[in-house]
């Protein structure tokens, strides 16, 4: 069964009301047929929903869809993408453990690794995407987990997932891939050896900037501790958000086709403009990892990163001249979004840390939406020409 069919047809069974669209199960708890039934449920002898903090029909449907899309055995849904990252760490790491991550992670993921985990006695090593020897030498006897993003945020750098999977297996480390930028429509990390796949469902999965949500799917032995931790600590996804995200999944493949098509055309336009000094997009032949992108991804994604030939004030002037894109820190919306990472999403990093992951005052991250591509190109062109 193809991905689009899975996303549309995987849903809960109908109730006695014979509904075609799955209802929202806005209930905190669930009832039992008898005291014996309740006892059996809590003892794990019978399956079913107990309490919406950890199981609910709507979250179950959402999780099942993404397990099938990612070819995973089990999953959990969380209140946000960062809850998915944090719960993955918290469920598996203890004092004395060591974590390896790529240095080009989302700013808040870096914050957890550098500021929260050390307070629990957990060590970390951050490695540049291209530092092959650094990856090889980073592993220690106490290395418990590896976390990467590919493509990275916002530099759109790629890691060879299969190569890194071999290293993780050799050192018996849990291999986690943040698949937020690509979605399971464009790449499947489990096919490349990942143990866990993390999503901020807030982004492309929702697709319209409406709700927060996160997902962790993967091998059952690694997902189960996260489920147990979430059950007791409460960073759960609301039934309504789960229902909405499950509905959004039905159009995910269709939307990603348009996002990718628009992004490639916009990136190609930027390459021809004198005011753009650098264009980064995985499916441009000029991308230094173009061949790896074609190997790991079925399309280039909806993010284009550029460097403008101007200082910070000029970049701000350019942003403010645009009439279609929205200025916000989110991404993965039906509406095109423009973000200045240095002063927003990655502003908590020092300037030197920003430079290490390829962020400059001239860097802009563009989440390309579903608008007509001719309108987008015309708008960016007029703003760039005014800057010139």
The answer to which of 18-22, 158-162, 173-177, 202-206 has the lowest mean pLDDT is 18-22
Residue owning tokens 């999953």: 75
Q: Is the pLDDT of residue 59 over 90?
A: yes
Question: 329: exposed, middle or buried (C-beta count within 10 Å: 0-12, 13-18, 19+)?
Answer: middle
Euclidean distance between CA atoms 279 and 363, whole angstroms: 10
Euclidean distance between CA atoms 162 and 168, whole angstroms: 10
**Cα of 42 vs its chain's centroid, Å:** 33
In 248-362, where do the E strands start and end? 276-280, 303-308, 326-327, 337-339
Residue 64: predicted pLDDT? 96
Euclidean distance between CA atoms 180 and 113, whole angstroms: 18
Q: 78 - beta bridge partners?
A: 214, 236
Six-digit token string for 44: 């794990």
Residue 320: predicted pLDDT? 97
Overall average pLDDT of the 196-223 stretch: 98
Q: Is the pLDDT of residue 104 over 80?
A: yes
Residue 253 CB contacts under 8 Å (≥ 6 apart), including other chains: 3, 4, 7, 185
Closest Cα to residue 367, out of 149, 215, 208?
208
- For 339, what's the count of Cα atoms within 13 Å in the CB-facing half-sphere? 26
pTM summary value:
0.95
**Cα of 224 vs its chain's centroid, Å:** 20
The domain 252-387: what is its CATH number? 3.90.1150.10
Overall average pLDDT of the 21-25 stretch: 92
Euclidean distance between CA atoms 213 and 196, whole angstroms: 17
User: In the chain, where are the structural domains located?
Assistant: 3-249, 252-387
Euclidean distance between CA atoms 31 and 273, whole angstroms: 63
Second-level CATH architecture of 3-249? 3-Layer(aba) Sandwich (3.40)
Euclidean distance between CA atoms 272 and 24, whole angstroms: 49
- 94: number of Cβ within 10 Å: 10
Six-digit token string for 54: 């950890």
Question: C-alpha angle with apex 218: 214 to 222, nearest 5 degrees?
Answer: 100
Q: What is the pLDDT of residues 322-378, one digit of tens each?
A: 999 999 999 999 999 999 999 998 887 788 888 887 899 999 999 999 999 999 999
Q: What is each CA distance from 365 to 12, 152, 276, 302, in whole angstroms?
A: 38, 12, 13, 10
Q: What is the pLDDT of residues 211-240, one digit of tens each?
A: 999 999 999 999 999 999 999 999 999 999
Q: What is each CA distance from 51 to 56, 245, 358, in whole angstroms?
A: 7, 20, 45
């Amino acid at each position: 069964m193809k991905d689009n069919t899975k996303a549309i047809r995987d849903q809960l069974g109908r109730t006695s009301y014979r509904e075609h669209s799955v209802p929202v199960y806005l209930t905190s708890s669930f009832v039992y047929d008898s005291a014996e039934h309740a006892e059996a449920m809590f003892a794990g002898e019978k399956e079913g929903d107990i309490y919406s903090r950890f199981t609910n029909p709507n979250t179950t449907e959402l999780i099942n869809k993404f397990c099938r899309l990612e070819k995973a055995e089990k999953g959990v849904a969380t209140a946000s993408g960062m809850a998915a990252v944090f719960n993955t760490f918290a469920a598996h790491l203890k004092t004395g453990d060591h974590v390896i991550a790529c240095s080009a992670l989302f700013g808040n993921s870096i914050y957890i690794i550098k500021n929260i985990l050390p307070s629990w006695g957990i060590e970390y090593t951050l490695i540049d995407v291209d530092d092959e020897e650094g990856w090889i030498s980073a592993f220690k006897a106490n290395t418990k987990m590896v976390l990467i993003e590919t493509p990275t945020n916002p530099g759109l750098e790629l890691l060879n997932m299969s190569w890194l999977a071999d290293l993780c297996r050799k050192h018996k480390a849990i291999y986690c891939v943040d698949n937020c930028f690509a979605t399971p429509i464009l790449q499947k990390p489990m096919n490349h050896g990942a143990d866990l796949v993390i999503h901020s469902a807030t982004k492309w999965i929702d697709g319209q900037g409406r709700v927060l949500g996160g997902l962790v799917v993967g091998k059952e032995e690694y997902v189960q501790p996260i489920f147990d931790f979430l059950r007791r600590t409460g960073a759960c996804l609301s039934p309504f958000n789960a229902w909405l995200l499950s509905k959004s999944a039905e159009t995910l493949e269709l939307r990603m086709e348009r996002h990718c098509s628009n992004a490639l055309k916009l990136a190609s336009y930027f390459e021809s403009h004198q005011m753009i000094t650098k264009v980064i997009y995985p499916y441009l032949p000029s991308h230094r990892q173009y061949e790896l992108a074609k190997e790991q991804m079925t399309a280039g994604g909806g993010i284009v990163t550029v460097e403008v030939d101007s200082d910070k004030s000029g970049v701000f002037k350019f942003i403010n001249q645009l009439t279609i894109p929205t200025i916000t820190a989110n991404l993965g919306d039906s509406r095109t979004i423009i973000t200045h990472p240095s002063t927003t999403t990655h502003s908590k990093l020092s300037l030197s840390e920003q430079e290490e992951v390829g962020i400059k005052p001239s860097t802009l991250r563009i989440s390309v939406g579903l608008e007509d591509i001719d309108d987008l190109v015309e708008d960016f062109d007029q703003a760039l020409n005014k800057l010139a």
